[in-house]
Chains A and B, each alone.
Chain A
């Protein structure tokens, strides 16, 4: 089950963070997402080397998926880095998650984010308050659970 998704701006400021648990663990999830940024920071340069290396004209050219960032006891944290250095973070409790599922999730999540910030009333760098975005994300989150189950 996905417990939390987050959008983090290029200055590592939280733009959107939403937990999908009943429990009051917002703070914990904030911390987990926040900590995962350390790993993103660590991996991002590696990623850009791969991207900028012309010799490796492999499928990794457009790779924005950072993979598993941060395995804790209870959670797995996955990351995704957009071209504008916005980080998308996923925290899940599922122990065996297929990479393809996560990639798929992030692709949809990214699309939703792009649509949300394309809103002319959205101020770049400010928190995403769009209700439509929230609804869409929660739909994606729900579908993630379904697709991995099937």
Chain B
């Protein structure tokens, strides 16, 4: 540990200042008057001379050791001041001190809190407020002149009488009137026989010196020669002497600049000085020395030595029996304890610390035994100080201070101020030894009930933590906060702010949000009290986005904040306002260059989808280059880097606002901040964008101010109410009006109507989602918010009329697209494309006038199905008629057909391409993109099952199952059509129609129908072009004769796409059939009729055999069996339904004949109603390749064959495609009976495979064998 000189430490200096002999001054009012001529009191007059830095008086210790006293001081006090200070007054004065210093700090009040590094590096002296010293001193003085201590007891009494006074001798006697003396002398706490010194103050101005000398002589004779003195003052006549510096330190009530009128000549000053020095060195010090000697002898006699100690102990023990006095025993000046105390204090004052210590020690045991706790504590305190001054035995010193401290605490409230003093001394002691941490905890212990004092103590404690090594910054901050709270409690707001500001330098940027918020909030609030609003708001802003706080805290923060804002009486602009939180990466920019959008929904569709849709329409895209390159001839090169937008067309920005709080927040007036700079006239290609920015920034108009220049652009405003924790997407627009460059700089909003916040889109933060365009990846993001505004262009607007939101599957609707061009400049060369074509078809101009669905009704005159697709370039792109131009807001309508093909949520896309009529414009073409969503609900579910009908050639039985899948809607099944003219369809039972007109929700029904293939060679190429036969329609509705023509537009187009969609495999079978079921329904509200079409394509029967055959002949033959046998001739008609040449070999077999006298062969192939194979009916069945369920049982070998096939039955022939052939068959029957003639087989093979065959449909074999159909013939005996 470093060596230190106790006398030079803070505490040492304080002690040498404060524990010094007291001189009681008694004076007449004329003395005071004389000195007041110099605007000084009598004491003030003498004070500058009472402080001796080197008095150099030889002194002897009690043990006759000589030493020289160097530093000495006298405390001059009027008798009236020698008493315990009034507590209230003292308190008042201390509070005043604090308030005054608070006011002084005002200039620093608004300064930024210091960086903690600076705080740490600053030295203690420059950092600590200087008034602490003064405050502490005042605090110590509040307990002076207590009776249990002797160092405040006056050593000498100085009586001063003016030479002006009448009868000065009597005045001297009167002055020392015991009634007016301090209570200390009167109540016996100290010896009233005090050393007196008599001074005759001679005012040279007023009274001749002769009178003074005469009086002095009188005095000397009365009071003794040594103790009388003549003091001449005011010998200067003109009062112009200047000695101000002498009194500057002693006069607090006169400001420094004021000139003192001084009547003191330099001779007077010398005399004053000499007087005080004489008083000290010749009277007071020797007197004290003598007293010490005297007392020491007494103490030695009565207390030193073993015997005395025993005696003392014994005696004190006896006193214990007496009644316990709570205040402890009282000691008069004559008691040995008081004398020891006086001895100790005198020795202390004369710097004889060894002597003082030994006496204090002696005394402390006595007091302890007497349980005189206050006295004991006082002595312990002095012991501690003595140890300190001796700079030895630190432990003991601290122990004594601690002891004193706790003892003072123990005696309760009366010792409170002593506690404070003792603590302060203790703290200084610790500080002098660099034990700052301990000092801080002592400060903490001093802070008592008095909040203001506690505040100061806590603040001092915090500085101790700061200066301890290592610095304890968190405790520093914490104690500052505690102290600040107490200051606030005492209305010392400025001090509170000062401490909190200190704390802020610690807590700035801490992750301990609760603490940081607390400090910021309170400091902000306090600044608000003081009316320093800008700083207040700055601090409050820090806590606004306090999502981690409780709801009540958030409410409090916001309420107080808004209150402060209101007090300012104006809207306050705050950059980077935290509330609400702006999610800058969420910024999306939507603007229209050559791509225009009809609705918001269209914007959010992926760009790639649009591009694939528009691929063929826009010529430049198809040639693998982007539109910019095409237009680069027109646009200056530098513009290529910018986004292009058109004057008068809004640029939309969507941005996320998030409320981090648990309380709702209202945000109003949200708008963009934009900069507009006019076009740079000279198209200098070298001029980079950065330069351009710099040059034009002076001229640019910024909308940061609330008044934006509306001639350049207009802004939209939005109001948002954010519920707790809500995130809201705010849509904002800016519409440029003038050509030039427009840059979106940021966003601005108003919080709760009074606080304007703005936020700039920092280029690093904006990660603009590229909504569109072939954007280079390398592009810096800041350019994305910069737009080149070009001259106003025509822009098409598109709407769709009658677009339903929800439709049922199959619903066919007429909708109209309306295109409008509000500008004068015409657009032309319109093209359009729709997607998906299965749902949406472009109609014909004539369709605009037609009545739907009546237009689909079949009329005899109508030949519309022959209409060709002449006005279509291809299947996809629709070209408007050449002469179509749109201008002047005149709308044109174009029909569209919507058919809900499949259930679900369906997106419809339309893109309209158009070119500018005005060739000189920067953009030559634009596209209009429309996007719609419809929801398609399930309606009728139609399925078909087709089986060949064995009894007829090329006929099928069709079962149609219809289920209403909708939740509530009923449908009227109207009509079923087969598509194409190769099919004919009819009801199996013509009467079978619906029991009721409507198929209700969830209901299912089946129909059975006949389907006939009437395909022939001639018509196979032009399936759709011919007028369909009447038989392709079946009316399923009872009582309705109306039929719909399903081959007309747009149903035929939809059917085409439906076929494409439902295609199962690459290869299309010829023998598949498409059905269209038409149903209708009525809407409840407006009796409007809806038309539904359900397309089921590629329905197949379950066979792969290309041949059909049928056996024909007489069923019943009568024959006289007297003849040997009966020959029956039969016909077999074989039809080739394939496109290939088939060779057929008919192979009758004699081996297996099924005979049954009853003829009842039951071989049901299925058990479904209506699908029974009635065995004895005349039906024949087509067989499959594999032996079907109907297996011909071989007859047992011993049975005689009842009939044989005649030889000619076995034939071999080839069949041309789609042709029939009749071949005769013959059997010989030998006996009557009923015979099953199914024991033959047909072997077929494809002899000339076509090209299609090579493409490979593996499911079809190239050859096969078919078992014969059952054919029963009955032969009867002819009578």
A38, B466: Cα distance in complex, Å: 11
Query: Does residue B76 face the partner (Cβ distance < 8 Å to A)?
Result: no
A39 to B518, CA, bound (A): 23
Interface centre among A11, A30, A37, A38 (most CB of B within 10 A): A38
Q: Which residues of A contact B512 (CB under 8 A)?
A: 13-14, 30, 34
Question: Is B490 in the interface zone, CB < 8 Å from A?
Answer: no
Q: Is the CB of B478 within 8 A of A34?
A: yes
Q: Please determine whether A35 and B475 come into contact, CB atoms closer than 8 angstroms.
A: yes
A5-55 at interface with B (beta carbon < 8 Å)? 11-14, 26-27, 30-31, 34-35, 37-39, 41-42
Which residues of B lie under 8 Å from residue A13 when comparing CB positions? 511-512
- Chain B residues near A35 (CB, 8 Å)? 472, 474-475, 478
| Count of residues in B whose CB is under 8 Å from the partner chain | 14
Shortest CB distance A139–B (Å): 24
- Whether the Cβ atoms of A38 and B473 lie closer than 8 Å is yes
| Contact across chains for B470 and A27 when beta carbons are under 8 A apart | no
For A30, give the chain B residue with the smallest CB separation.
Answer: B514
> How many inter-chain contacts with C-beta < 8 Å in the A-B complex?
35
Complex: A42 Cα to B472 Cα, angstroms: 9
Query: In the complex, how many angstroms separate the beta carbon of A68 from the nearest chain B beta carbon?
Result: 14
Q: Are B514 and A27 closer than 8 Å at their CB atoms?
A: yes
Contact in complex: A42, B470 (CB < 8 Å): yes
Residues of the A chain whose Cβ atoms lie less than 8 Å from the Cβ of B470 = 41-42
Query: In whole angstroms, how far apart are the Cα atoms of A12 and B470 in the complex?
Result: 16
Chain B residue, CB-CB nearest to A37: B474
B260 / chain A contacts, CB cutoff of 8 Å: none
Q: Residue among B474, B475, B514 with the most chain A CB within 10 A? A: B474
Q: How far is the CB of B294 from chain A (nearest CB, A)?
A: 49
Contact B478 A31 (CB under 8 A): yes
Cβ contact of A30, chosen from B465, B472, B515, cutoff 8 A: B515
Q: A37-B474, A38-B473, A38-B474 are in contact. Are A31 and B481 (CB under 8 A)?
A: yes
Given A34-B478, A35-B478, are A27 and B515 also a contact pair (CB < 8 Å)? yes
A14 partner residues in chain B, CB cutoff 8 A = 511-512
Q: How does the 8 Å CB contact mask read for B468-496 relative to A, with 1 for contact and 0 for none?
A: 00101111011001000000000000000
Please indicate the chain A residues that have their CB under 8 angstroms from the CB of B518 in the complex: 27
* Least CB distance, B619 to chain A, in whole angstroms: 53
B402 smallest CB distance to A (angstroms): 16
Measured as residues with beta carbon below 8 angstroms from the partner, the interface class of chain A is 10 to 19
CA distance A11 to B475 in the complex (A): 17
Complex Cα spacing A31 to B474, Å: 8
Name the A residues within 8 Å of B515 (CB-CB): 27, 30-31, 34
Alpha-carbon gap, A69 to B985, bound state (A): 98
Q: In the complex, A31 Cα to B470 Cα: how many Å?
A: 19
CA distance A41 to B437 in the complex (A): 14
* In the complex, residue of chain B having the shortest beta-carbon distance to the beta carbon of A33: B512
Q: For the complex, what is the distance from the CA of A37 to the CA of B477, rounded to whole Å?
A: 12
Taken together as a complex, chains A and B put the C-alpha atoms of A41 and B481 apart, in Å, by: 21
CB closest residue in chain B, given A11: B511
Nearest B residue to A39, CB-CB: B472
How far is the CB of B521 from the nearest CB of chain A, in Å? 11
Shortest distance from the beta carbon of B518 to any chain A beta carbon, whole Å: 5
Q: Which of A26, A27, A34 contacts B474 (CB 8 A)?
A: A34
Assembled-state Cα–Cα distance A114/B472 (Å): 29
Q: Using Cβ atoms and an 8 Å threshold, which residues of chain B touch A41?
A: 470
- List chain B residues, Cβ under 8 A from A27: 514-515, 518
Q: Which of B472, B473, B511, B518 has the most CB of A within 10 A?
A: B511
Minimum Cβ distance to chain A for residue B660 (Å): 15
**Candidate in A12, A35, A37, A39 with the most chain B CB atoms within 10 angstroms:** A35
Residues of chain B lying within 8 A (CB to CB) of residue A42 = 470, 472
Are the C-beta atoms of A38 and B472 separated by less than 8 Å? yes
- CA–CA, A31 to B511, complex, Å? 13
In the assembled complex, the CB of A19 is this many whole angstroms from the nearest CB of chain B, namely: 11
Q: Give Cα distance in the complex from A48 to B465, angstroms.
A: 24
User: Nearest Cβ distance between residue A62 and chain B, in whole angstroms?
Assistant: 26
Q: How far is the CA of A30 from the CA of B511 in the complex (A)?
A: 11
Nearest neighbor of A72 in chain B, beta-carbon distance? B444
Give, as a whole number of angstroms, the nearest-CB distance from B999 to chain A.
Answer: 54
Contact check, B475 vs A38: say whether CB atoms are below 8 A apart: yes
| B512-571 CB contacts (< 8 Å) to partner A | 512, 514-515, 518
Question: In whole angstroms, how far apart are the Cα atoms of A22 and B518 in the complex?
Answer: 20
Nearest A-chain residue to B476, judged by Cβ: A38
Q: In the assembled complex, how far is the CB of residue B440 from the closest CB belonging to chain A, in whole angstroms?
A: 11
**Smallest CB–CB gap between A52 and chain B, Å?**
20
A6: min CB distance to chain B, Å:
10
Q: Kindly provide the distance from the CB of A3 to the nearest chain B CB, expressed in whole angstroms.
A: 16
* CB proximity of A39 to chain B, nearest CB, Å: 8
Shortest beta-carbon distance, B32 to chain A, in Å? 51
Residue of A nearest to B518 (CB): A27
Q: How far is the CA of A37 from the CA of B473 in the complex (A)?
A: 10
A37 to B481, CA, bound (A): 17
A17 to B512, CA, bound (A): 10
How many Å from the CB of B423 to the closest CB on chain A? 16
Q: Which residue of B lies closest to A125 (CB)?
A: B511
Cα A27 to Cα B485 in complex, Å, equals 13
How far, in Å, is A21 (CB) from chain B's closest CB?
Answer: 15
Min CB–CB distance B449 → chain A (angstroms)? 14
On chain B, the residues within 8 Å of A39 by CB distance are 472
Q: Shortest CB–CB separation between residue B868 and chain A, in angstroms?
A: 65
- Report the Cα distance A11→B474, complex, angstroms: 14
With both beta carbons as reference points, the residue of chain A lying nearest to B506 in the complex is identified as A34
- State the Cβ distance, A90 to closest chain B Cβ, in Å: 17
Q: Give A41 to B511 CA distance when docked, in angstroms.
A: 17
Say whether A26 contacts B514, CB under 8 Å: yes
Residue of A nearest to B437 (CB): A42
Chain B residues near A31 (CB-CB < 8 A)? 478, 481, 515
CA distance A124 to B783 in the complex (A): 37
The answer for the CA separation of A92 and B9 in the assembled complex, in Å, is 40
Report A-chain residues with C-beta under 8 Å of the C-beta of B475.
35, 38
Cα of A26 to Cα of B475 in the assembled complex, Å: 17
A11 to B481, CA, bound (A): 23
B739 shortest CB reach to chain A, Å: 50
Question: What's the Cα separation between A27 and B519 when bound, in Å?
Answer: 11
Measured between beta carbons, the chain A residues less than 8 angstroms from B472 are: 35, 38-39, 42
B572 to A: closest C-beta gap in Å = 28
Q: Cα distance A111–B515 when bound, in Å?
A: 28
Closest to B473 in A: A38
- In the complex, what distance in Å separates the CA atom of A142 from the CA atom of B472? 33
A residues in contact with B473, CB < 8 Å? 38
Q: Mark A61-93, 1 if CB is under 8 A from B, else 0.
A: 000000000000000000000000000000000
Chain A neighbourhood of B481, CB < 8 A:
31
Give B115 Cβ to nearest chain A Cβ, in Å: 18
Enumerate chain A residues within 8 angstroms of B511, measured Cβ to Cβ: 11-14
What's the Cα separation between A27 and B475 when bound, in Å? 14
Closest partner residue, chain A, to B515 (CB atom): A30
- By beta carbon, the residue of chain A nearest B511 is A13
Nearest residue (CB) in A for B548 is A127
Cβ proximity bits B436-475 to A, threshold 8 Å, 1 near / 0 not: 0000000000000000000000000000010000101111
Chain B residues contacting A11 (CB-CB under 8 Å) are 511
Q: Which residues of B lie under 8 Å from residue A12 when comparing CB positions?
A: 511
* In the complex, residue of chain A having the shortest beta-carbon distance to the beta carbon of B517: A27
Interface residues of B in 1135-1184 (CB under 8 A from A): none
- Top 4 A-B residue pairs of the complex, sorted by shortest distance between their CB atoms: A13-B511, A38-B472, A30-B514, A38-B474
B residues lining the A interface (CB < 8 Å): 465, 470, 472-475, 477-478, 481, 511-512, 514-515, 518
Listed A/B pairs (30) with beta-carbon separation below 8 Å: A11-B511, A12-B511, A13-B511, A13-B512, A14-B511, A14-B512, A26-B514, A27-B514, A27-B518, A30-B512, A30-B514, A30-B515, A31-B481, A31-B515, A34-B474, A34-B477, A34-B478, A34-B512, A34-B515, A35-B472, A35-B474, A35-B478, A37-B474, A38-B465, A38-B472, A38-B474, A38-B475, A39-B472, A41-B470, A42-B472
Q: A27-B518, A34-B474, A39-B472 are in contact. List 8 more A-B contacts (CB 8 A).
A: A12-B511, A14-B512, A27-B514, A30-B515, A31-B515, A34-B512, A37-B474, A38-B465
